[in-house]
């Protein structure tokens, strides 16, 4: 039963989606703890260790969402959320009528009933092949100029119709954003993603 299933949650909050295809839309974020990638520039390194965060039942997590909104998007993120079996959580949220969006590095096989799969691959640990077939959105973080060629290589593995985004790593945004703009001008299949939640100071 889902009631016995517990997941480590670092934080949860009702805000807007700040990045990618659904940028600007209201969303409830559930950040699960645990990560197998460990990006040097990660802005939520406190999410890496699942053992330092409390575990909650599926009913408790679903209640948080239902208390804040009656419909709309729930974003399951991390850490790396696919380190956990997402079937019980997504089943419970879908039964309440919510749309489930996943943000993942794609290092693990997919689980759960996902409406929108955002793949953000990292060089530190290459995604499993399955993730490219699942991806509705490919979001590559640009930290170094070599990331552009890598982004192209990643995009060539995705399914037809996948949307492509380049997002400057926050600490290097002033340096990388002009490069991204020039790249997109030459490669119009790509779109700029900015972390607007950081500009407007919301979670």
CA separation for the pair 91, 162 (Å, rounded):
25
Label residues 155-170 b or e (16+ Cβ within 10 Å = b).
Answer: bebbeeebbbbbbbbe
First to last CA, the chain: 32
pLDDT (tens digit per residue) in 97-123: 999 999 999 999 999 999 999 999 999
Q: What is the pTM of this model?
A: 0.95
pLDDT for res 1: 39
Domain ranges of the chain: 2-199
Angle at 80 between CA 70 and CA 29, to 5 degrees: 20
With beta carbons less than 8 A apart as the criterion, state whether 89 and 76 touch: yes
Residues in the chain with pLDDT values less than 50: 1-3
Pick the CATH number of 2-199 from 1.10.357.20, 3.40.50.2300, 3.20.20.70, 3.40.50.970: 3.20.20.70
pLDDT for res 3: 47
pLDDT for res 2: 41
Angle at 6 between CA 3 and CA 8, to 5 degrees: 155
């Amino acid at each position: 039963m889902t009631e016995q299933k517990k997941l480590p949650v670092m934080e949860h909050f009702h805000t807007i989606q700040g990045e990618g295809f659904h940028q600007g839309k209201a969303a409830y974020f559930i950040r699960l703890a645990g990560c197998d990638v460990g990006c040097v520039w990660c802005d939520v390194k406190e999410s890496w260790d699942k053992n330092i965060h409390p575990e909650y039942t599926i009913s408790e997590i679903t209640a948080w969402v239902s208390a804040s909104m009656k419909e709309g998007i729930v974003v399951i993120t991390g850490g790396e959320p696919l380190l956990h079996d997402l079937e019980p959580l997504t089943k419970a949220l879908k039964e309440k009528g919510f749309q489930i969006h996943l943000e993942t590095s794609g290092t693990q096989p997919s689980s759960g009933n996902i409406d929108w799969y955002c793949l953000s691959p990292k060089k530190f640990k290459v995604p499993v092949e399955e993730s490219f077939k699942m991806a509705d959105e490919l979001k590559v973080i640009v930290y170094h100029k070599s990331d552009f060629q890598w982004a192209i290589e990643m995009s060539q593995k995705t399914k037809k119709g996948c949307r492509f985004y380049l997002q400057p790593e926050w600490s290097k945004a002033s340096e990388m954003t002009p490069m991204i703009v020039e790249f997109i001008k030459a490669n119009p299949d790509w779109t700029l993603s900015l972390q607007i939640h950081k500009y407007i100071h919301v979670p």
